[in-house]
């Protein structure tokens, strides 16, 4: 047996395999770490093809035009098949979402070019001393940011590291429960949040300060302009899964939901009552250490999609002209229909406290409920619960 003919090529092939595996593992880890898991199949396919090509070179397998052509065809077909998922995700990523379009930095109080609404006159309340620490839902940040600018001393209030923070509703409740903040501006708590507060020995005090509409929206080109409450329940229970069954086109319904304990998901659960909600669409997301988690898919504006949120968030913060808010039972969600109780899914939002000792909290709540505070709520774009004149 010729040593050079057999042994050395085998050693080369093993070395090539080790090096290729190392770099492939590095690429897989890198792409997974940054959430690009849809590239995994393409990376592995290319690595296998490179190894096969180098192996064929080492063992002089591609020594005829016919074999070279056959390998080329196989390689092209393999790469095309492995590219289907990355191409799909690239195109899918171009479909607009709802939440990605909002920058909370536009609503930081006391900043240049801020969108924060101001009163026409100086506030009758000017806080000093120990300032109440506030957190809340993203959709309500423009409101409590305006309240802060009217009543708090002028200084820098970073949205994630100051007395005035902005987080999701679940995080805001967590911060209230653990004593990080004194008060939160949110929708009503979910049953699990109420239970958790009870287990912690906390008594939640909910002070209604304004009203808002829970709204459903679809792609602008969707033929549907409105649904009944019954149709909404049928869609989100899974009883109805095609738009043609509610007067639309013959197309499946992609009914998106929100994460558990978010304000809008809690609103959906309240609306559905005893009707079970079907399982939400999910997607695989890469965690920070390269693992894969499964979470509720963020709404994407597919032509067959339906999602939900609150009126102010969609009309004043997002302002996406590619979606349209649906009439419910023939009524549009407007400030007037909310005020008159004509829109059927209107509800109050609250300042929620849990036994804070800060004396300025009660003063601030009283001011928000005062005529001046209610005027500011109206001016921001919400519907106040009290008189404004």
* pLDDT number for residue 318: 61
* pLDDT number for residue 289: 43
Q: Give the number of other Cβ atoms within 10 Å of residue 65's Cβ.
A: 8
* pLDDT number for residue 312: 82
* pLDDT number for residue 288: 42
Matching CATH number, 108-210+355-384, of 3.40.309.10, 3.40.190.10, 3.40.50.300, 3.40.605.10 = 3.40.190.10
Consecutive H or E run containing 305: strand 305-310
* pLDDT number for residue 265: 86
φ/ψ of 9, rounded to 5, equals -60, -35
pTM (two decimals): 0.72
CATH 3.40.50.970 for the 212-346 domain, yes or no: no
* pLDDT number for residue 319: 62
Q: Tell me the per-residue pLDDT of 39-48, one tens digit each, with 9 for 90 and over.
A: 888 889 998 9
* pLDDT number for residue 241: 93
Q: Tell me the per-residue pLDDT of 125-167, one tens digit each, with 9 for 90 and over.
A: 999 999 999 999 988 999 999 999 999 999 999 988 899 999 8
Residue 186's DSSP bridge partners are 350
- pLDDT < 50: residue spans in the chain: 1, 100, 285-293
């Amino acid at each position: 047996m010729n040593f050079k003919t057999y042994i050395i090529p085998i050693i080369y092939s093993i070395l090539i395999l080790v090096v290729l595996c190392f770099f492939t593992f590095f690429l897989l880890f890198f792409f997974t770490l940054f959430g690009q898991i849809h590239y995994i199949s393409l990376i592995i396919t290319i690595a296998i093809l490179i190894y096969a090509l180098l192996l064929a070179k080492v063992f002089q397998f591609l020594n005829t035009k016919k074999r070279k052509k056959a390998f080329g065809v196989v390689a092209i077909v393999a790469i095309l098949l492995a590219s289907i998922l990355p191409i799909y995700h690239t195109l899918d990523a171009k479909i607009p979402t709802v939440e990605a379009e909002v920058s909370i930095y536009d609503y930081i109080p006391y900043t240049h070019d801020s969108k924060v609404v101001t009163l026409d006159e100086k506030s009758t309340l000017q806080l000093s001393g120990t300032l109440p620490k506030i957190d809340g839902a993203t959709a309500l940040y423009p409101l409590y940011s305006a309240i802060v600018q009217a009543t708090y001393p002028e200084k820098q209030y970073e949205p994630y590291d100051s007395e005035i923070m902005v987080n999701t509703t679940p995080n805001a409740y967590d911060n209230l429960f653990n004593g990080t903040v004194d008060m939160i501006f949110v929708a009503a708590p979910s049953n699990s949040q109420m239970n958790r507060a009870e287990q912690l020995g906390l008594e939640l005090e909910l002070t209604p300060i304004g009203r808002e509409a829970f709204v459903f929206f679809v792609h602008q080109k969707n033929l549907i302009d409105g649904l009944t409450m019954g149709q909404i329940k049928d869609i989100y229970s899974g009883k109805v899964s095609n738009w043609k069954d509610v007067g639309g086109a013959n197309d499946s319904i992609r009914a998106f939901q929100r994460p558990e304990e978010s304000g809008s998901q809690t609103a959906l659960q309240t609306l559905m009552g005893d009707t079970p909600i079907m399982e939400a669409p999910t997607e695989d997301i890469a965690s920070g250490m390269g693992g894969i988690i499964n979470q509720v898919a963020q709404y994407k504006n597919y032509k067959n999609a339906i999602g939900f949120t609150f009126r102010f968030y969609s009309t004043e913060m997002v302002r996406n002209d590619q979606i349209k808010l649906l009439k419910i039972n023939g009524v549009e969600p407007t400030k007037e229909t909310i005020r008159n109780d004509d829109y059927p899914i209107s509800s109050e939002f609250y300042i929620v406290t849990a036994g804070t000792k800060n004396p300025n909290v009660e003063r601030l709540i009283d001011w928000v409920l005062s005529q001046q505070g209610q005027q500011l709520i109206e001016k921001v774009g919400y519907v106040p619960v009290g008189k404004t004149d």
